[in-house]
Structure 1
């Protein structure tokens, strides 16, 4: 029998989101230059971590994270994926208007820009690794 989850505390939020990129130098530069995120931890060839509000955006090189940890290292199990991922950053409607202008000025193509049927707007673009990035109002999910 499994554990009785009815006594577990509710999940509070998502703490980490992970994307993968082989060229971490280009990826770090993109997130700094385009999104204004500052790395808080960098291990060349392995990962670059950014704080985004109260959450963390972790970008790993999939080749480096598919191996088990070395003896004495933190016991984080292997993980990684192939192909592009997706992350959506929460912004206000007013800030979304600013991003619509800023991204093309920075040479970033907006792939999609639309209003959701139940309200709220999203814009989509890509990072150097091909990950699909979205900027959206929280109301697309009924969150105020």
Structure 2
């Protein structure tokens, strides 16, 4: 069967403290804030996609009648997201994270030669930066 999908448009993570999330993803990772709704969510532009960071308490509450027909959703506990980073920029990302006091939990090369680094955001989500070649995707 041929896939009709063209890629991932958005990825969601959850954090109780949206101020800490906005600072981390904006100031440390360097993503542009697209929108924020008080203590409900903050969204960031990430390349051609969007990173959604939701407060899990707020997204478990149904929308008022007449609002957007988006079902409740969310999770508890840490999630995972992997950012696509060119190999020649991974060392700069390690430096940026280290200077911000973020511990690098792992930094290694996969059997196919692609490099990944792992670290955590303030909410405990497991984050990865990896070369696109990890999944056989060409670097731009």
Shared fold per TM-score greater than 0.5: yes
Match of 1:74 in 2: 68
- When Rg is computed on C-alpha atoms for both structures, the one with the higher figure is 1
Listed as ranges, the gaps of 5+ residues in structure 1 are: 1-5
Listed as ranges, the gaps of 5+ residues in structure 2 are: none
Q: Which of the numbers 3, 17, 24 marks the counterpart of 1:23?
A: 17
Q: Distance in 1 between matches of 2:137 and 2:19?
A: 35
- Could you say what secondary structure the match of 2:137 adopts? coil
Runs of at least 4 residues off by over 3 Å:
none
- Could you say what secondary structure the match of 1:49 adopts? strand
Structure 1 position 9, deviation (Å): 6.8
Match of 2:100 in 1: 106
Match of 1:139 in 2: 133
Q: Distance in 2 between matches of 1:137 and 1:18?
A: 21
Match of 2:32 in 1: 38
1:54 aligns with 2:67: no
RMSD of aligned Cα (Å): 1.3
How many pairs align?
138
Q: Distance in 2 between matches of 1:19 and 1:11?
A: 21
